[in-house]
A and B are shown apart, each in its own frame.
Chain A
Amino acid sequence: MSLEAVLVVASALFSVGLYGALTQQVVVMVMMGLELMLNGVILAVAGFWYFLAPEPTGQVLLLVVIAAMTVEMAMGFAVATLLHRSAGTDMVDMATELSG
């Protein structure tokens, strides 16, 4: 395998996630799209690390991406819970304003 192959697979994962994030109506499903996009980012960063500069310190960037992913999910669930409580919905179309 090569860096190009890894990046093409990562691009496919990112694009599928983007399609999901744009089409889904349920907030949690939108988050799934974002997670899939980050999945592609993780694979791309791993490819860059392995093929271009395989030093141990380069993996720290990957740790940061995974941490950002965890943060995104935690905040997304918190916002989804807040939205459900204040507006009684879990759909993005019905959450066009943030005022409670």
Chain B
Amino acid sequence: MTDLVTDPLRLVEVVAFWALAALAVVAGVLVFRWDSMARVTYALATSFVAVGLALVVVDLHYIGAVTVLMMVMEMAIMAVFMIMFMGMNPALMPMDMTHRKRPAAVVAVATFVVLAGGALLVPWERLADPVPGAGSASAVGEAVMGPKMLVMMTVSPLLFATLVAGVVLASHRTRYDRLGDDLRRRPADDPQPGGVGR
């Protein structure tokens, strides 16, 4: 506490962190309280942006910026999917599409008690003092391109496999279904169902 009084910058950091933390949790709760699908998506985006800015406060500048940018884009895509799947004007029709709320609330509260209890009771031990600029883009870049290169090499095929699997799952009939492996084959008569003999 003395630290906070003598160091105004640290006080600003603490206040900013708590404000962002409160915003993240409240926006997270609103995701499951609001009826409008469009508002729900914006609430989740707000929660992510708050966490991203909180990361910037705890000296993770690069990851914080990546989180904010990526999540804003992700929620924009999510909004399109929500409106597509809900099949109605999502801002005008209140609805309750939930089930088993009471058991879920019990599980969620129990999980919070266990996790928060563990966080408060475990005697955490610092391994090192903060390094100025350790959360910068150049520090992450050097880590990724140096000692942690193997991690990035593992993540790359994972992302590529996801791209392929996502397209395979989501596409109905692909070029292969229509034309088969014979490139000289005449195009399928599309109004008919199936392909390659189906």
Contacts and interface: CB of A to CB of B under 8 A. Distances in A.
Interface centre among A46, A47, A70 (most CB of B within 10 A): A46
Nearest to B124: A3
Contacts of B86: 26, 90
B97 A91 contact: yes
B38 interface: no
A77 B166 contact: yes
A90 B98 contact: no
Contacts of A27: 85
A39 B24 contact: yes
Interface string A82-100: 1011000011010000000
Interface stretch (B12-20, B178-186, B189-197): B12-20
A13 B124 CA distance: 21
Interface majority SS (helix, strand, loop, mixed), chain B: helix
Interface majority SS (helix, strand, loop, mixed), chain A: helix
Contacts of A46: 54-55, 58, 60, 63
A55 to B, nearest CB: 6
B74 A56 contact: no
A49 B147 CA distance: 17
B115 A23 contact: no
B100 A22 contact: yes
Nearest to A65: B63
Contacts of B91: none
Interface residues of A, number: 69
Contact of B119 (A4, A15, A26, A66): A4
B63 A22 contact: no
B93 interface: no
Nearest to A20: B32
10 contacts: A13-B24, A16-B31, A18-B104, A23-B32, A32-B41, A54-B134, A63-B144, A75-B162, A75-B166, A90-B85
Given A8-B116, A14-B112, A73-B78, 14 more contacts: A6-B17, A20-B32, A24-B97, A25-B97, A32-B41, A33-B31, A47-B58, A50-B59, A55-B134, A56-B134, A59-B63, A63-B155, A64-B151, A67-B155
